[in-house]
Each structure stands twice: as C-alpha cells, then as structure tokens.
Structure 1
C-alpha cells in the first residue's frame, strides 16, 4: 500500500514511477524523480517497488513528496535473480501487471502521468486504457536502445548468431545511430538457449515504446548525439535526454566518522587508488575472479574494491594494499581526489558516474549492454582501456597481465591524453545539467509537457 502522505495543498501533478526491480533500474528512476521535484516542489511522486525493494531503499533519504507504494515480490529473493536472471525477467514481465493494476485502482489522487521502466511494457497497455499519459524510461544508453531497435539487421546481414571466437573482431556499420561495432560487442548474439530467451524478452519491449507519449533516456545529448538524432528521426513521440540521472544534486558533506573508508582515502596520495566494482550481481568465473584478485594484489597499487559477496576470500587473495567492502557510496568515492582509475563492468549507471566524475576506466564488461558501453569508453570517448584485448569467449586473463596493465594504467605519466579527455567529458556533463544545458533544458521541457504549461 502507499504510505500515508499529506498531498501538497497546491499539488499540480501526480507522477507514478514504476521501475524494474533491479539496482541499475531503481536508482536512476529515483534520481529522475528527485530531479523533477527539484524543479517543482508541488509534484507528488508515488514510487512503486516490490516489497523486497522497499526493504532495500525504504530508509534512504528522499524528499517528503515522494511516497512508496508496494506490490508483491515477483520471485522469492534477489539471490534467485542472480542465479536465474532469465526466470526473473520473465516473472517481472508476467507477474507484476495485475498487482500494479490493483494498486492503480486504489491510488489517490489519480495519476497525472506514469513513468515506467521500458522493460515493464505492460504499463503502456494499462495506462492507455485509462487515458493516462505514459513516459517510457530506458535505463541504459540511447545507443544500446538503437542496437535493439535495429537488431533485425544483424539477421538480415547474416551476422546473427555470432561465433565470437571466430568472428568477434569483425565490424558492422549499418546500425543507425552507431559507428562501427565489433560483433563481439553486440548483446545476446550467441545461439545459446539463455541468450535467445533474453533477446526475445528485450526485443519484445521495443514496439511498445511508440505507444507511449514520451521517451526518456538517462544520458547526456553530447555523449550520444548520433544515436539521439537517429532515434528522434524515427519516433513520432518526444524524446528527452534527462541524464546523467545520478545523485549529483544530493552530494552534501561526507560523514567520515560514519564511513571509515573515506578516512582511509584521505590518507592516500592524489590519484593513486584504483576503485574496483564489477556490479551488484553479475560476475565472472571463479578462475577469472582469482586471477583478477591476484593481479590486483601483485600490482602494488592501492585499491578500494566493492564486492557484495565473498569478501573474506577476496581479502586473502588481494593482500593488504587496499580495502574490500560490501558496499560504498560510489559517486562520492569516485569524486575523492585519491581515486585515479575505475575498474568497471561498464554498467550504464557506473559508466555515467565515472564520466561525470572525470575518472578514467579499465573496462571489463560482462553482459548485455556492458560491451557496447565499453566500446564507447575506449573507442568513442577515449577515456579508458580494455582489460580484455582478445574477444574469444574462453580467454582467461592471467594475473601477470592484469598486474602489468594496472601499473601502466595508474602511472600518472602514462596516457596523458586519456586523462585530459576524462576531464573534458566531466566538464561536458556538468555543463549539460547547469542552467541552459542540454539535460536541464530537456527536463524542463518534459515537465512543461506533463504539467500542460508553456515551455
């Protein structure tokens, strides 16, 4: 049920936000809602989450005008999600619709607009039946959206399925909105049953977007102009870049006494620490994990590694040159002057945060949109290096190679062009969210639309 809240006496709009129940989806949706409220405090937001996710974020700080409403869990636990992502995704697409419709029947006041995660395509059907405007929020890059929208071109040109070991280095340049892409960087392009099922789910949500009234991307136009322009030419509905959709408006002073790792960072030399995060639930093989950990330890470079599970084993493998934590405030860590590099799985949230803070990347993508994000980091924006140089699926990167790569990457006298470019992209991001910037302008335009006021 929705939490009791005093409806603002001069409320002008009731936004219902419903994210896909995953960390990389919930966080940017919440950040978007906070940005909307920063523009107009007379908006009421009902943020719809599963009971499990209310437990994860229910105590987080938020504006008073955001209230939580819950629906039942779609699968017993997040651990199940990590173990069987295909089943979890299928459950989200089939089991959330009915309880969400029941919630809509109970909500007061009625929604003025629904912002939904694009993967929850059934929201469009429910909203259209009730004549409620709906905005599709795609939580990944616009370039990746363009890839999925035109995935049929891979089949047409004989590039699906892909044998990555043999053809992964081959490039195609026929995806609108994208420069040439290695076949290895396309998502779900192998012929495994798991990939086929996930690809089917992903492709099925795309046609529903045209039935929405708005399409929102948590990106910055200047980072992906080619994709945004191509999509605007193809879609009849308004498209807005509302990025970076990270908690950049909620960066107060750090309570170092609460988070001891900031005290540790304070004692490290400038740009000397490698921050490592491989995401919240996807992972590499145990053998590759061990090689990475041993390589990090052998490099001698100070590190701060966030690993939700297996902390004890990781500490044994890495040695005592750095910290291993189950969680940290990633954006604030990346902003700390001691951080000199970001070993990342290249999820879109982490990619945006790294670019926003001007930290160069060691790109180690695992799955789905991450290889394409890694391509942008390395080839388009030129703010990082690839860890995995060969595209063969069974390639194991040994600790000696990892250790050597980390030392070269963290050498401040090394790739000066990369570090300069990182600072340039940081400035570009900050300019986009400032008054008159591309993201600030698009957020204002979207608000004007849903409030029915002149822009």
Structure 2
C-alpha cells in the first residue's frame, strides 16, 4: 500500500489554523501525506501571505491545501457568527469533500485513501462525518487542557447550580475544577464573556455537541505540556499532551516559516531587534482580533511611552494604534514572525491577550508576561501565567474599565526589574517545556506513538 494519508481540519480562525499547520508539517516530515482543509476565505489569505509562493499554490511544504466555502460574508470575524457557520454550514461541505476524494481514489483518478481525519477538537461534527465513512479519527485541541476540562464539566456546573442550561452563569464566583488547576470566574467562562446571547448560544451548543462527538475518537491530542497542567491531565486522562507542537520541527525552510499565517509577516522588525540591548524590548501583540477601544489604546500607548523603553507593537487588523512617539524607540508592524520575535535575545517582556499559542510561544522562550485577556480561553491562560506558574502580572482597571497609563508603566517596570524574579521563574518553566519535546520527553513520545499508529494501517 502507499503512504498513509491524513486529512486535517482546523476551526477557521488564526489561532487554530497555526498549531494545526505546525502539526501537519510535523506529520509531513514523518513521511505522511497531508491534506489541509481551510475555508475558501482563509485559504486565499494563506496563499496570498506566503513570502515565497510555491510553483503549485495548492501544495506547500509537502502539504496539499484545499478549501471549502463557509457561507459567510463580512460576519466571519465575529466569533459568535463564525461558530454558527461552523455548527450549521461546514459539516455538509466537509462530507461532500470526503465523498469526492473517496470517489476520485476508487475511480483511479489520483489521490490516496484517507487513513485518518485529524480535526480541531471544537469541530466534533467532523468526527461524526469521518465515522460515517469508517475513517479513523483524532481530535486536536489547540488550547490548554484546562479549557477542554471546563467543557467536559458543563453538566456538573449545571447540576451544581453555577450555570443555567444555556450556559448563563447563575452566580458570579471563582471556582477551581480541581486542586492545582487555575481558578475560573463563572462570568468569564469560554462561552460567556462575549456578552452576546446569540454568540453564547452558538458557542455553548458547539461545546455540548463536541463533548458527545469526541467520546468515540481514537486519539484526543492536546497542544500542551503535562507538567504545565498536571491537574487538568489527571482530571481527564484521555487527553494526550503533545505540545508545544511548534517545537516538533526545528528546521523551518525559508519561505515556509509563515505557512498558515493569514497576513504577510514583517521581517524587517527582526533587523530592528538586532540593534536593541538584550532583554530591553517590550513586545506588544494581541492576536488576530482587534478588541481595544480608542480610550484604552491611548492609555496603553501613553504608558509605553512613559517607560522610555524600546517597543515592538503588532496591530494585526485595521487601524494603527494611536502612538505619538517622537523617538525611534518604537516600531509598529501589522503582523510579525512571532516565534522568531519571542526567541530573540532583545525581548524583555510580552504584553499579550494570552491566547494559547502566544502563551506557549512566550513560555518556551522564558519570557515574562503582562496580561490583557478579553475573551474565550484567555482568562484561563492568564490564571496559569499569573497564579499557577507565576511568570506574569495582570493590570488593574480604573472605575471606567480602562487600564491607565500609570498602571501600564508601573507593571512594566515591575516585571522588567534587574533582579528578575519573574524572569527566573520563566526560565524554569522554559526548561520544563524543553524537556518534554526532546527524546524520551512525554510530548515527544506521545507524538511518536501517534505517528506509528497512523502508519500501522498501511504497513
């Protein structure tokens, strides 16, 4: 028989596509054929953003890129609207794609039998579609294991009177699902903090459906590290840690580094970092959704100016932040090669929204954090950073809900002090992470077992 063939299906958002693309590149490096399924909108953005387009736009770095429609227009950047499309529109399109691929294979028109479907854990329906065709299944969680454990605990939260049947909190309090796990505030649960009933309903229903769908998967993979989340993994032993998946392949070819990115990366900022004093630069990046109002942007910019330190600020979509700096101490870019930025010796701290990819990338480079979470799992990640690992600080808001410029300056000064207690702890956490991705490490061994399982069907 031929090579094993894996179909990979991410949730259609940047923070989900990137880790699953890293995972796909790892599989491809192990001799596995990969078909990566994006929505048409995201597929086109990825192709456009490539710094060095391949001769075949549909095969990049050994991965075949295919696309399906998402049924959305301008609403796709609204998380609740996107989750509605994911729940009601995409399942049919994925089923049609698999049928077409099976038909092409059986009629001798090319292609290979699909050995396994690896789908984002938040796409439980993809597991059901794969099961219809008798295809083996693996779910991939691009978030912390604690986020998954929260989803698995929904029925208990209802039974304990903490949330209603639609996910609405009945009380506002901080809870711990088990000792050692981060505290979670009921009014900031993954599905709640969008403050929008339609969005809440879509995301909550998606999570309920996922809980049922992934019961029958062969593997439940998680882009995390056992020692970082021991309590969460012990609560749900079926979850298999394989992270950080971005460290699974160290040699990245030039031009493929941005594979999976929706925007072209500004690599000039790396040259600017080369000119800075080691540990001096404040890196500011909040992911792919704009969420700050102008008043908060003004205060953040003013606070950064007060520090009199060099700043690299990424503003991903739309408007530039209102920076009125007169020196060349600050540069603003639309999108940065974040892995390379965070591994640069010049970076001293990371002002972040605490998305899980950013959290892992900061952690694996021993970078202290300043946290401004705004929705979904980011509050859980902030609790890990500040309360469990103790490698970062949050900001206090004023009575108007704004973080003041003085608060920004004070917290940055505290985190970047020369005696560096935060930095020392961050280095220790980095050592734990790196131990897991080398030979005999837990993540390394789990990845090996998964690859051997994929190959077992064709040998």
TM over 0.5: yes
Alignment match, 1:278:
286
CA shift at 1:180, angstroms? 4.2
- In structure 1, C-alpha distance between the alignment counterparts of 2:150 and 2:100, rounded to whole Å: 38
Equivalent in the alignment of 1:266 = 274
Which of 399, 403, 406 does residue 400 from structure 1 map onto?
406
Counterpart in the other structure of 1:448: 452
Counterpart for residue 7 of structure 1: none
Are residues 216 and 318 of structure 1, via their aligned partners in 2, closer, same or farther at CA, if it must alter by over 3 Å? Answer: farther
Contact 2:27–2:34, Cα closer than 8 Å, also in 1:
no
* 1:94 pairs with 2:88: yes
Q: Take 1:445 and 1:385, find their aligned partners in 2: how far apart are those partners? A: 37
**Cα deviation, residue 67, structure 1:** 0.8
- C-alpha deviation, 1:245, in angstroms: 1.6
Structure 1 length as normaliser, TM-score?
A: 0.86
- CA change 1:177–1:410 in 2 (3 A) is closer
- Distance (Å, rounded) in 1 between the aligned partners of 2:433 and 2:422: 17
2:417 to 386, 400, 411: 411
Which residue of the other structure, out of 357, 367, 388, is the alignment partner of 2:365?
A: 357
Aligned to 1:374: 382
Query: CA distance change for structure 1 residues 13 and 377 in 2, over 3 Å: closer, same or farther?
Result: same
1:12 corresponds, among 3, 6, 12, to: 3
Q: Which residue of 2 aligns with 1:81?
A: 76
Specify which of 182, 194, 204 is matched with residue 199 of structure 1.
Answer: 204
Shift of 1:301: 1.9
Aligned length: 429
The SS at the match of 1:420 is helix
1:388-411 deviation line (CA, Å, top 9, x unaligned) = 378x8x522211221222222222
* 1:309 CA displacement: 3.3
Which sits farther off after the overlay, 64-73 or 358-367? 64-73
Residue 298 of structure 1 aligns with which residue? 306
Which of 215, 221, 242 matches 1:216? Answer: 221
Deviation at 1:442, TM superposition (A): 0.2
Q: Which segment drifts farther, 114-123 or 444-453?
A: 444-453
How far did 1:187 drift? Answer: 2.7
Alignment match of 2:44 (pick from 55, 65, 68): 55
2:433 to 424, 429, 448: 429
Q: Is the 8 A contact 1:176 1:230 kept in 2?
A: no
| Greater CA drift, 279-288 or 348-357 | 279-288
Distance 2:153 2:395 in 1: 28
| Distance across 1 between alignment mates of 2:251 and 2:323 | 30
Shift in Å, 1:37: 2.7
Tell me, yes or no, if the aligned pair for 1:150 and 1:176 is still in contact at 8 Å.
Answer: no
Q: CA deviation at 1:302?
A: 1.2
Question: Cα distance, 1:252 vs. partner?
Answer: 5.5
Q: Distance in 1 between matches of 2:330 and 2:251?
A: 25
1:67 aligned residue (64, 68, 90): 64
- 1:7-29 Cα distance to aligned partner (Å, 9 max, x none): xxx73310111111110111110
Greater mean deviation of Cα atoms: 176-185 or 125-134: 176-185
1:204 to partner: Cα distance: 2.5
Q: 1:139 to 1:318 in 2, by over 3 A?
A: farther
Q: Is the 8 A contact 1:295 1:401 kept in 2?
A: yes
Q: 1:317 to 1:149 in 2, by over 3 A?
A: farther
Separation in 2, partners of 1:172, 1:352:
24
The corresponding residue for 2:345 is 337
Conservation of the 8 A alpha-carbon contact between 1:93 and 1:119:
no
Q: Compute the displacement of 1:36 (Å).
A: 2.1
Alignment of 1:224-239 (within 5 A): 224-232=229-237, 235=238, 239=239
Instruction: Name which structure has the greater RCO, CA cutoff 8 Å, separation 6+.
Output: 2
For residue 27 of structure 1, what is the aligned residue in structure 2? 18
1:184 to 1:72, Cα distance in 2 relative to 1, 3 A? closer
In 2, Cα distance between equivalents of 1:262 and 1:189: 38
TM-score (norm 2): 0.85
- Find the aligned partners of 1:447 and 1:144 in 2 and give their Cα distance: 25
What residue is the counterpart of 1:145 in the other structure?
Answer: 148
The two structures, once aligned, show a CA RMSD in angstroms of: 3.0
The runs of 5 or more residues in structure 1 that have no matched partner are: 1-9
Per-residue CA deviation, residues 248-269 of structure 1 (Å, 9 max, x unaligned), is: 62555989xx822122111111
Structure 2's unaligned 5+ residue stretches are 53-58, 102-110, 256-265
Q: Cα distance, 1:246 vs. partner?
A: 1.8
CA separation of 1:33 and 1:308: change in aligned 2, threshold 3 A: same
CA distance in 2: counterparts of 1:254 and 1:300, whole angstroms: 34
On the 8 A contact 1:142/1:224 being kept in 2, the answer is yes
